[in-house]
Amino acid sequence: MEIQGYQMPDELYYEENHYWVRPEGDLLVMGMDDFAQKMAGQIVYIQLPFDGKKLTVGKKFAKIESGKWVGKVMAPVNGVLLESNKELETNQKLINEDCYGKGWIYKIKPDDPSEVGNLIHGPEAVEKWLIADIARYKTE
């Protein structure tokens, strides 16, 4: 689905700080959404924490930087970080070039897969949330 020039795939779940989550079997793949990567500009650094790191929903576990922005990455669910996209160590541009594909960032093993239901999901909810954030950032 496109909302005011931002691509927001319907099948994804969104964390309020503009990271997406896609269930794949018993794992969750996580990345930065189109709105966030466009607002941030060219990504120049991404923190890839160690595999096995325990994650607590709503708590910071990494950071991402662009030339004009530093962002915190919050855990979308409780669980364990199983894998980071190692390609991003040398090619952070993948996030800007393909944020929903090759630019994925983390794979998480959730403690309770049903927690994904607490994220923003569905065309109406995503549109309402994104339009509110677009308006908020345009006034800042």
pLDDT level of residue 22 (50, 70, 90 thresholds): very high
pTM, rounded to two decimals: 0.94
Asked if residue 129 lies in contact with residue 135, where contact means CB atoms within 8 angstroms, the answer is no
The answer to whether residue 46 scores a pLDDT higher than 90 is yes
The one-character DSSP state at 72 is E
Q: What is the pLDDT of residue 67?
A: 87
Written as one letter, the residue type at 132 is: A
Rounded CA-CA distance 115/99 in Å is 23
Q: pLDDT tens, 61-110?
A: 999 999 888 999 999 999 999 999 999 999 999 999 999 999 999 999 99
Q: What is the pLDDT of residue 68?
A: 84
Asked if residue 61 lies in contact with residue 81, where contact means CB atoms within 8 angstroms, the answer is yes
pLDDT level of residue 137 (50, 70, 90 thresholds): confident
The one-character DSSP state at 35 is H
The Cα angle at residue 79 between residues 63 and 104, in degrees rounded to 5: 50
The answer to whether residue 140 scores a pLDDT higher than 70 is no
Per cent of the chain over pLDDT 90 is: 94
CA 7 to chain centre: 13
Where do the domains of the chain lie, and which CATH numbers do they carry?
2-113 (2.40.50.100)
| Mean of the per-residue pLDDT values of the chain | 95
**Over residues 19-32, mean pLDDT:** 97
The one-character DSSP state at 131 is H
How many residues does the structure list for the chain? 140
